[in-house]
């Protein structure tokens, strides 16, 4: 009988301890920055895709920078984009991620430079993308050579018939080695 008050008190403390983790209101984060124990370092091979305000896409890294340690001897790399589990969002079938080389002469992402010829050479091997059965992951294998640049389009749909249309996003992939 005396165990119940102790169990109840422990449960109440547990709930009270979680109460201060309100992800929408983090005044301490705004002053001191994020907590690296809670937020993972972005991985260029496993970018996360978020749906914000039920209609805008955000990738947790822009651009995706592929370096030498990410590619095999032939310059191939596999990048797997993921949506949050347990949501009504899925990558569009057959065009969830569409990757094209940046045309020579176009500016590339945050760097004020011109896309190199290597983008065309790498494009000789078209990217191959596969969607998971649930549609929440798309993995693409492509050749990323040093200095090459690609633009990719992220296409996500809301599987809830009452959901809003989600606008596509067009970020970059860069070969930084």
- Return the domain boundaries, the chain: 40-175
How confident is the model over 156-168, as pLDDT tens digits?
Answer: 999 998 989 999 9
Q: Which of 34, 159, 27 is nearest to 84 (CA)?
A: 159
Q: What integer pLDDT is reported at residue 86 of this predicted model?
A: 93
Q: 40-175: which CATH architecture?
A: Sandwich (2.60)
Token look-up 């020579």 returns 104
Overall pTM surpassing 0.85 (yes/no): no
**DSSP count for the chain of H helices, then E strands:** 3, 13
- State residue 29 phi and psi, 5-degree precision: -60, -40
Pairing label, strands 172-175, 56-59: unpaired
Residues 6 or more apart from 52 whose CB is under 8 A from it?
58
């Amino acid at each position: 009988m005396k165990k119940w008050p102790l169990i109840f008190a422990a449960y109440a403390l547990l709930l009270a301890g979680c109460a201060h983790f309100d992800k929408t209101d983090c005044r301490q984060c705004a002053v001191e920055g994020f907590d690296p124990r809670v937020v993972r370092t972005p991985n260029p091979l496993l970018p996360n895709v978020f749906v914000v305000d039920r209609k805008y896409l955000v990738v947790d890294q822009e651009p995706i920078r592929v370096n030498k340690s990410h590619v095999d001897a032939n310059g191939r790399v596999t990048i797997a984009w993921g949506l949050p589990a347990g949501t009504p969002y899925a990558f569009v079938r057959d065009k969830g991620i569409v990757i094209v080389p940046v045309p020579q002469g176009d500016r590339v992402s945050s760097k004020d430079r011109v896309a190199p010829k290597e983008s065309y050479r790498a494009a000789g091997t078209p990217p191959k993308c596969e969607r998971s059965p649930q549609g929440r992951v798309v993995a693409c294998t492509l050749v990323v050579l040093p200095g090459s640049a690609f633009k990719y389009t992220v296409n996500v749909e809301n599987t809830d018939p009452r959901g809003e249309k989600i606008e596509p996003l067009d970020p970059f992939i860069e070969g930084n080695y």
